[in-house]
Structure 1
């Protein structure tokens, strides 16, 4: 058996973050009456997503704190339509974070794949998500029991793709590099990071990406392909 240790990203690799987030945002949008300020939920969500992506890059590069990230990304859509109501943004944010980790949707075939692999490999989570959310997401999705250890950037203070978090994950799980595989949906965080330390990597191409700066060790269009690959 070539690999002994499988490191999984969580959001949009196993737990359906994009779907669960969209559902939660829409619930909070109507709960807090934001339809009074925006043309539609799509209008609000597009404003949020554009700014959120940029803020996560700044956070990953250490330019802003976690608190600044969460404050700015929820306030931005309101400010964009002339409603600089920081109290409303804070209330929306608090409710969003209370609800989203209770969502249960997983990526297609996630449990089937974990069931097939759990008895043959050491399974670990390696995620950039926040500690107060990730464990509850896993419990809500019914997948927490598959993993021997969960390594989070929030604990280490270093995010994927920086090599420190990958090296820490190997050390913390007593895993040999040559016997380890990273599986994730983020090219920039998971593939670039794993390749940076010489770890084999499987790109779960949920976005339908067609151009790659380098060839990943493996490409998955369906998570179920991992069973055959291994």
Structure 2
């Protein structure tokens, strides 16, 4: 057996972050009467997503703190329509973070694949997500029992794709790079990050990406393909 240790990204690799987040945002949008400020939920969500993407990049580069990331991404949509109500944005965010980890949608076939892999490999999570959310999300979806350890960027204050988080994951789990495989949906964070430290990778291409700076070790579009590879 070539690999002993499988490191999974969590959001949009196993736990359906995009669907669960959108569902939660729509609940909060109606709970807080945001239709007073926005043409539609879609209008609000597009504003949020645009700034959120920018802020996560700034957070990865160390330009903003975790608290500032969360403050700005919830306030920005209101500011964009001339309603910069910081207290409202804060209430919205508190409710959002209370509800989202209770969501349980998984990516297609995630549970089936974990059932197959768990008896054969050491399974770990390697995620950029926040400590206070990731384990709760896994419990809500009923997948926490498959994993021997959850390694988060919060643990050391360094995000994928930086080499330090991958080396930390090896140390924290007693793993070696040559016996380990990174599985994730983010080209930059998961695949390029793993490649940068000499770790093999499985690119779960849910976005339909067609151009690649290098060839990943494995390339899949369906999680069930892992059962053929491994």
Shorter-chain TM-score: what band?
over 0.9
Residue of structure 2 in register with 1:104 after alignment: 104
Q: How many residue pairs were aligned?
A: 230
Q: Distance in 2 between matches of 1:105 and 1:32?
A: 24
String of CA shifts for 1:115-163, please: whole Å, max 9, x gaps.
Answer: 0000000000000000000000000000000000110001110000000
String of CA shifts for 1:157-196, please: whole Å, max 9, x gaps.
Answer: 0000000000111111111111100000000100011000
Q: Distance in 2 between matches of 1:173 and 1:132?
A: 20
Residue of structure 1 in register with 2:194 after alignment: 194
Q: Distance in 1 between matches of 2:168 and 2:36?
A: 47
The equivalences for 1:1-150 within 5 A come to 1-150=1-150
The equivalences for 1:169-188 within 5 A come to 169-188=169-188
String of CA shifts for 1:33-72, please: whole Å, max 9, x gaps.
Answer: 0001100000000000000000000001111100000000
Matched, 1:225 2:225: yes
Q: Distance in 1 between matches of 2:77 and 2:137?
A: 26
Query: Matched residue of 1:198: which SS?
Result: coil
Q: TM-score, normalised by structure 2?
A: 0.99
Q: Distance in 1 between matches of 2:170 and 2:47?
A: 38
Q: Distance in 2 between matches of 1:93 and 1:176?
A: 39
- Provide the alpha-carbon RMSD of the alignment: 0.4
Unaligned runs of 5+ in 2: none
Query: Matched residue of 1:224: which SS?
Result: helix
Q: Distance in 2 between matches of 1:177 and 1:88?
A: 46
Unaligned runs of 5+ in 1: none
Q: TM-score, normalised by structure 1?
A: 0.99
Following TM superposition, where does structure 1 have runs of at least 4 consecutive aligned residues deviating by more than 6 angstroms? none
